[in-house]
Structure 1
Amino acid sequence: MNSAVLGSPAVDDSPAARALDTGLWVFIAVASTLFALFLSAYVMRMDGAADWSTLTLPRQLWLSSALLLAGSPLLQRAAAAARSARWPAARSLLLAGGVCAMAFIGVQLWAWQSLLAARVGLAGNPAASFFYVLTALHGLHVLGGLVAWASTMPAAASPPPEPAHVARRIALCARYWHFLLAVWAVLFAALGGLTPDVVRFICGRG
């Protein structure tokens, strides 16, 4: 059945839309490589380092993880609502997903503050240095996603004149949030689960 009959926006298959789609995949690939390189450096620095002191992760990270976990399906549901031309639902879900991302940044800063209050600074302990660098790098990517989200919100603020284009933009935001969630899951597992003994065991020197 024709999508116009159902009230759903047609799929935006314009050259500009395809370019945005491809550009996001390329960015995700480049960002994934960057995070992989930093994680490799983290593991190599930990392996055999006499000055390595395992860092106890601040409890706030569980809350920030829950916020990021909530934001990803919210944006996925926003994309589905936009494809079905349910714009009030799409706007509400898109707003909720962005609020979760902003709260994630706030809680991450709270986690940094708690470490600094405990006198765990950037210098001195390499584990702490990597924690700050890796979480800051991820936070910058979240902020970049919020810029895209902020530019999409006004377009979805009323029944848009180009619904297919707006639906595509919301879908791209959702895809990027899935990527951010996957990266954070890996980072959280590495920061909280990897120790020098675990690394030596994985490398066959345990």
Structure 2
Amino acid sequence: MSILRRLSEKPWLAPGVDPLTEADAESLPSLSSAAVGLRVYFGVATVMFLLIAVIFVMRMDGHGVSTGQQPDWKPMFWPPLLWFNTGVLMLSSAAWQWARAAGYRGHMESLRAGLIAGGVLALVFLAGQLTVWRQLEAAGCGMTATTMSAFFYLITALHGLHLLGGLAVWGRTSVKVLGGSEVAEVRQSVDLCAIYWHFLLLVWLVMFGLLLLNRR
């Protein structure tokens, strides 16, 4: 009977046996609700931009379809400022990574500098995108000029709205940092913001590459 009892025992339920010690439990990675929410957002945003990219490519391949006598898909005027804006967004992402690294090292001064630089550069990017819109309007490539220009406005508007959402979190985090909070109190916010900015940079580079296929 003792042999049968031993064979039927579940070691992980046996009294006095704890397969996961307290030290092991503390070493396991834990995700905050903010981190989980960010991952869910990444999934939703990725699907949304992916669908736009697929429709864009399909529509581009069928550009011979016409409305009336004129094709409804034409290469659009390409403001050189878009290259500058892309570089600014890359610098913004680099500044956020700098702030993130400073947070892990416990260097508040470097974290503060990276935080401010990352947010300011993001604002410069948004201002540059609005300037691009005005340049397109002046060149006759407004939102309703062609299907291509409509896609351009849609992509840049959605990307800009997501960036504005990140700037709202940046504002709250900046208030804490400038208000004298310790590094440990803002480390997670800076970390998540940096990851968010890297994601938006990746999205922009992919969509920017698609738009380049139809420049003139």
Structure 2-normalised TM-score? 0.79
The yes-or-no answer on 1:112 pairing with 2:126 is no
- Name the structure 1 match of 2:168: 147
Q: Higher relative contact order at CA 8 Å, sep ≥6: structure 1 or structure 2?
A: 1
Structure 2 spans left out of the alignment, 5+ residues? 1-27, 65-70
Q: Residue 52 of structure 2: which of 13, 19, 38 is its match?
A: 38
Larger Rg: 2
Q: Residue 144 of structure 2: which of 103, 114, 123 is its match?
A: 123
Q: Which stretches of structure 1, 4 residues or more, deviate above 6 A after TM superposition?
A: none
1:82 deviates by 1.6
- 1 CA distance for matches of 2:168 and 2:61? 38
- 2 CA distance for matches of 1:84 and 1:156? 16
- 2 CA distance for matches of 1:177 and 1:43? 25
The yes-or-no answer on 1:68 pairing with 2:89 is yes
Deviations 1:97-126 (A, max 9, x none): 000000000000111110001111111310
Cα RMSD, aligned residues only: 2.0
1:14 deviates by 10
- 1 CA distance for matches of 2:150 and 2:172? 33
- 2 CA distance for matches of 1:25 and 1:61? 29
- 1 CA distance for matches of 2:214 and 2:131? 23
Equivalent residue pairs, number: 182
1:164 deviates by 2.3
Contact 1:87 1:159 in 2 (8 A): no
The yes-or-no answer on 1:167 pairing with 2:196 is no
The yes-or-no answer on 1:185 pairing with 2:199 is no
1:159 deviates by 4.1
Deviations 1:131-175 (A, max 9, x none): 0111111111111111111111011115425x3231010000000
- 2 CA distance for matches of 1:113 and 1:124? 14
1:86–1:154 CA distance, 2 compared to 1 (3 A): same
Percentage of identical aligned residues: 39
| Greater alpha carbon shift after TM alignment, 81-90 vs 181-190 | 81-90
1:54 deviates by 1.2
Contact 1:75 1:93 in 2 (8 A): yes
- 2 CA distance for matches of 1:123 and 1:73? 35
Structure 1 spans left out of the alignment, 5+ residues? 1-12, 196-206
Deviations 1:26-83 (A, max 9, x none): 1011101100111111112222223210123211110110010001111111011122
- 1 CA distance for matches of 2:97 and 2:177? 15
1:71–1:93 CA distance, 2 compared to 1 (3 A): same
- 2 CA distance for matches of 1:55 and 1:194? 7
